[in-house]
Structures are given as structure tokens and as C-alpha cells.
Structure 1
Amino acid sequence: MPAITPWRGGEPQFALTDHGRSANCALERRCSVCGGFMPKGPVWRVVGAAESAAIADALRAGRSYQNLAPTMEGPGHRACMLYAAMVCPFLARPNARRRQTAEGDGADEVTAAAVRGAVRGGTGAVVGFADYEYAVTETRVLFRFLDLVEFLPHETADEHLAELRAELATAAAPAQES
């Protein structure tokens, strides 16, 4: 269960983001998926087709990638974002459609792509950034991601299964040695 998911009537509302939970994750540097602490260093997020294409274009042209447009999607651990990309139908497949609008009934510049019926389309990606910034407003938490460090594109997210297994094995190794 994502750490930022709100509950209504005892049921998780997967396509929505709970303001208080998201704010706590931002303020305490916690992963938006597992809720665990993220130490200083890179953070990851999953991006849709438009941002994935922009990153790929910048890399092909030998330019650094900078997207300072705010998003409501918070950062997470590398393993958590690989996992999220695989288990969320919208993130996992290019033909998946959103079942509900991410926030409220209408869209604005931040939520325009997160409306009911929207298709992820094209190639998605799990992307690592050196750091992030955030702002907690009265109605939402906004994130900006800085300095690209890793780009893992996918047509379907199951392409990341070997990478997820390797990440989990690496994370478990120190615990097994003690």
C-alpha cells in the first residue's frame, strides 16, 4: 500500500493522494511508496510517456535534463519505484487508462495528465535524481526533481523485473551478513 494513499470507508483510494500523508513524507524525507526513511542521496520516481520522451531526447542530444515543472508525485527508494512501476496498471502498460481523476473533478497545469480516462501511452520510465525540492501548500504537496542520475525506460514495466530482483538482493545482503 503506498504511504501516500488515502482511505475512505475502509478502502484504499489508489489513484488519489492524501495531502497529510504526502506532506509528512516530504517533510520527513520518507518514501512515497513504503514510507521508510530515504537517506541523503538519489531518489527515484516513475514518469509517463511525455517526460520519458523528453529525458530520452535530452540524453540523445548530449544535454542535461531539467524539468522544473512541479508534480504531485513524490520520490521514493529505487526498489520501491521499480516495484510501483510494475504493480500499478497505469504505470506498467502503455494502453492502461486512469480509472479516476487524481485530484478533484477538474485538471490544472499540475494534474492535467492525471484525469479519468487518460492513457499513459508510449514509453514510461523509472528515473533517478540527485535530489528533490518540495512545497507544501494548503491543498497539495508539489515536488521538483533535480539532476538526473539514472534513466530506466520501459514499454511495459515487467522489463524491470531483473533490476528489481538485483536491487532487493543488494538491499538484503548487509542484513544477511550480520
Structure 2
Amino acid sequence: MRFELVPMPDGVGARPRDGRGYPVPAITPWQDGEPQFALTDHGRSADCALERRCSVCGEFLPRGPVWRVVGPAESAAIAAALAEGRPYRNLAPTMEGPGHRACMLYAAMVCPYLARPNARRRAGAADGGDELVAAAVRGAARGGLGAVVGFGDYEYAVTEDRVLFRFLDLVEFLPHESADEHLAELRAELARGSTRTHGR
């Protein structure tokens, strides 16, 4: 699905755009006037953590559940826990910050790496130093089922060179093979007004 056809939360619509028109997430660094989508900016991510802001749109996250997009390994682990009727707990920290439900549904649909299992991170993106931290291994296919996942809360730690998050208390699990499957859910979420809509 073409990204310009995906309903956009208003906070995302207010973000700067790249030359193609893609909105640039709040934690994405810029180099020479160009957004580096495959990287995470340490300072921007720290600001979002400290001020409880969405890592996609940069706006405030109200107290309560937060969402993130997960890859196939964590998606499979969550599915297994739910199938076995046991709580899901992952104590391993991640550099991927939380966001609004609508923003994460949108990000899952628009980001090529998140949206399709055969998509690959752009190879050759330079890893940053103190301020630019690689978000994932470039050139690796995502594979498997991804998911948009809600958690009751999160913890974070800001270190000298990275910002780490840990998510607690699973509240929602929306797996996908292709993130286009979330279109109806995104439209419904925007209609409920959990975040403002933009141009839809």
C-alpha cells in the first residue's frame, strides 16, 4: 500500500518530511539535511524517554498503555505465551521506544522494513558515534510475523551512548504478516480520537 494512502495521525502529519514525503519520526537523526531512518538519535530518544513522548510523533504519551512494533522473534514469543496461557515477560532491554497506538499502527504500515517480512534494512548506513546509534543490523531481512503490541507501562535507562527501554504487562497483541492488515484497526483508532487525525 502506498504510504500516502495510509491514514495519518495528526501528530505524525506535523513532522518534517524527507524528499519523498515520508514523515520523519521524532527519534530519527539528520545528517547533511537528510533523515537517517535506519539510525536512532541518542539525544532525541533520551528526550522522548525523559519527557514521556511518543518516539514517532514526539507528542506527550498520557499515563496508561503504550505501544511498540516488534519483530518476528518477539512476536513468536508473545504468541507462544498467549497460546500456553502464561504471562509474557521480556526483561531484555530494547532501543525501540514507545508510542501512541495510532502512531505505531501507522509506523508499522508505512516503514518498509516493518511492513513486509521480505523487506531489508538499508545496507551501508553508517553507524553513529556517541549521538547516533544503529537501530538494527542493516541488510537483514525482517522475516516472519511482526506485531503491534501494547504494554501497560515501560521503564527506561539513559546511558552515555544509548537509551534502553523495557516493556511491562502485555495488554494487546496485533500480529501481522503484512502490516496492511492493520488498515481497518488504524482507521478505527483514528475515528476513536485517541490522537488527532490529519487530512483523513
- The TM-score normalised by the length of structure 1 is 0.90
- Equivalent residue of 1:17, what SS? strand
**Structure 1 residues 126-145: aligned runs within 5 Å:** 126-145=148-167
Contact 2:102 2:195 in 1 (8 A): no
**CA 1:88 to 1:171, structure 2 compared with 1: closer, same or farther past 3 Å?**
same
State the number of aligned residues: 170
Q: Which one of the candidate residues 25, 41, 45 is aligned to 2:48?
A: 25
- Equivalent residue of 1:144, what SS? strand
**Alpha-carbon distance in 1 for matches of 2:170, 2:126:** 27
Q: Which residue of 2 aligns with 1:73?
A: 96
- Runs of 4+ that moved beyond 3 A: 100-103, 172-175
Following superposition, the deviation at residue 101 of structure 1 comes to 7.1
Contact 2:53 2:60 in 1 (8 A): yes
Q: Which residue of 1 aligns with 2:72?
A: 49
Following superposition, the deviation at residue 117 of structure 1 comes to 1.3
**CA 1:173 to 1:21, structure 2 compared with 1: closer, same or farther past 3 Å?**
closer
Q: Which residue of 1 aligns with 2:17?
A: none
What is the aligned-residue RMSD (CA, Å)?
Answer: 2.2
Q: Which residue of 1 aligns with 2:184?
A: 162
Contact 1:32 1:76 in 2 (8 A): yes
Following superposition, the deviation at residue 172 of structure 1 comes to 6.9
**CA 1:101 to 1:79, structure 2 compared with 1: closer, same or farther past 3 Å?**
farther
**Alpha-carbon distance in 1 for matches of 2:43, 2:196:** 33
Q: Which has the higher contact order (CA 8 A, sep 6+)?
A: 2
**Alpha-carbon distance in 1 for matches of 2:169, 2:83:** 16
**CA 1:162 to 1:77, structure 2 compared with 1: closer, same or farther past 3 Å?**
same
Counterpart check, 1:36 vs 2:59: yes
What is the identity percentage for the equivalent residue pairs of Structure 1 and Structure 2? Answer: 82
Following superposition, the deviation at residue 119 of structure 1 comes to 1.2
- Equivalent residue of 1:3, what SS? coil
Q: Which one of the candidate residues 113, 120, 123 is aligned to 1:90?
A: 113
Q: Which runs of 5+ in 2 are unaligned?
A: 1-23, 129-133
State the one-letter code of the partner of 1:146: L
- Equivalent residue of 2:193, what SS? helix
Following superposition, the deviation at residue 133 of structure 1 comes to 0.3
Q: Which residue of 2 aligns with 1:108?
A: none
Q: Which one of the candidate residues 3, 25, 43 is aligned to 1:2?
A: 25
Deviations along 1:74-108, one digit per CA (max 9) or x if unpaired, are: 00000000000000001000000111478838xxx
Deviations along 1:133-166, one digit per CA (max 9) or x if unpaired, are: 0000000000000000000000000000000000
Contact 1:17 1:102 in 2 (8 A): no
Contact 2:190 2:196 in 1 (8 A): no
**CA 1:45 to 1:10, structure 2 compared with 1: closer, same or farther past 3 Å?**
same
State the one-letter code of the partner of 1:130: G
- The TM-score normalised by the length of structure 2 is 0.80
Following superposition, the deviation at residue 174 of structure 1 comes to 9.3
